[in-house]
Amino acid sequence: EIVLTQSPGTLSLSPGERATLSCRASQSVSRSYLAWYQQKPGQPPRLLIYDVSSRATGVPDRFSGSGSATDFTLTISGLEAEDFAVYYCQQYGSAPITFGQGTRLDIK
Amino acid sequence: EVQLVESGGGLVKPGGSLRLSCAASGFTFSSCSMTWVRQAPGKGLEWISSISGNSNSIYYADSMKGRFTISRDNAKNSLYLQMNSLRAEDTAIYYCTRRGITVPTYDYWGQGTLVTVSS
């Protein structure tokens, strides 16, 4: 099973700043099958990024994904109020599908 | 508009059973693999089980194998999860998700249904 470790656990930033979230895999993620989700309280997760760097439909271009093999990054440039949430990475290249433990992005 | 609506959650005693349902609309249900994912209170996401569009391929997380059974009825555009021998640690919100047609992961999620296992 591929274990995904996200860091930091909590990130406190101000609106307008740049957020950099990390996801490290215990082994190489097959076929770049790495996604990022955003979850707000009381809501289901929302797909932001798939295949490492492809934005899902309707996702603003301030969200971008990068990385390869075992190290991946979600970058949010110019934080807006609605971006403060919990973010999860997910690998779907190897069974079982696994998620990271999440990074909470808080308003500073 | 794609919609996934879960139902069937509730309070159940340890050792009990529950059947969750997910009603799908707004897309060709039989063309999509479907998955159940759960989230314990205040915790992260856990993949439970997936089923292909024609039900020929079914996968389970090891911790759920033998207790949970996924199924679907394409004529009714519905996905199911039969949960037996429930434990306190199965307490969670259970989400129904769709593997996208052009996106190789979960592009739509239901709002979830809460399952509480407690005596």
Residue-wise pLDDT tens digits, A4-37: 999 999 999 999 999 999 999 999 999 999 999 9
Contact: A99, B44; criterion CB under 8 Å = yes
Classify the C-alpha dihedral A106-A48-A9-B94 as positive or negative: positive
Contact: A92, B105; criterion CB under 8 Å = yes
Quote the CA–CA distance of A89 and A83 in Å, as a whole number. Answer: 16
What is the distance in angstroms between the Cα of A17 and the nearest Cα belonging to chain B? 26
Q: For residue A53, what pLDDT is reported?
A: 97
Residues found in chain B: 119
Nearest neighbour of A56 by CB, restricted to B47, B59, B107: B107
List strands edge to edge, sheet with A19-25.
A4-7, A19-25, A71-76, A63-68
Q: For residue A35, what pLDDT is reported?
A: 98
Residue A67 has pLDDT above 90, yes or no: yes
Contact: B61, A45; criterion CB under 8 Å = no
Contact: A35, B61; criterion CB under 8 Å = no
Taking only residues 53 to 82 of chain B, the set having a beta carbon closer than 8 angstroms to any beta carbon of chain A reads 59, 61-62
Tokens standing for residue A81: 């109020």
Nearest neighbour of A95 by CB, restricted to B46, B59, B103: B59
pLDDT band at residue B114 using 50, 70 and 90 as cut-offs:
very high
Nearest Cα to Cα of residue A22 among A87, A93, A91, A92:
A87
Residues found in chain A: 108
What digits encode the pLDDT tens for the residues B5-62?
Answer: 999 999 999 999 999 999 999 999 999 999 999 999 999 999 999 999 999 999 999 9
Report chain B residues whose CB lies below 8 A from the CB of A47: 103, 105-107
Residue B105 contacts A where some CB pair is shorter than 8 Å: yes
pLDDT band at residue B101 using 50, 70 and 90 as cut-offs:
confident
Q: Identify from A10, A47, A54, A57 which residue to disrupt to test chain B contact, counting B C-beta atoms within 10 A and taking the largest count.
A: A47
What burial class does residue A94 get, using C-beta atoms within 10 Å of its C-beta: 0-12 exposed, 13-18 middle, 19+ buried?
Answer: middle
Q: Which amino acid is at A81?
A: A
Classify the C-alpha dihedral B108-A12-B92-A51 as positive or negative: positive
What is the distance in angstroms between the Cα of B95 and the nearest Cα belonging to chain A? 8
For strands B113-117 and B10-12, give the pairing: parallel
Residue B65 has pLDDT above 90, yes or no: no
Asked if residue B96 lies in contact with residue B44, where contact means CB atoms within 8 angstroms, the answer is no
SS3 B76: helix
Report chain A residues whose CB lies below 8 A from the CB of B95: 44-45
Q: CA-based diameter of chain A, in Å?
A: 38
SS3 B42: coil
Tokens standing for residue A41: 């309280």
Cα A103-A25-B96 angle, rounded to 5 deg:
60
With a CB cutoff of 8 Å and minimum separation 6, the contacts of A76 are A18, A19, A21, A62, A63, A83, A105
Residues linked to residue B70 through DSSP beta bridges, in sequence order:
B81
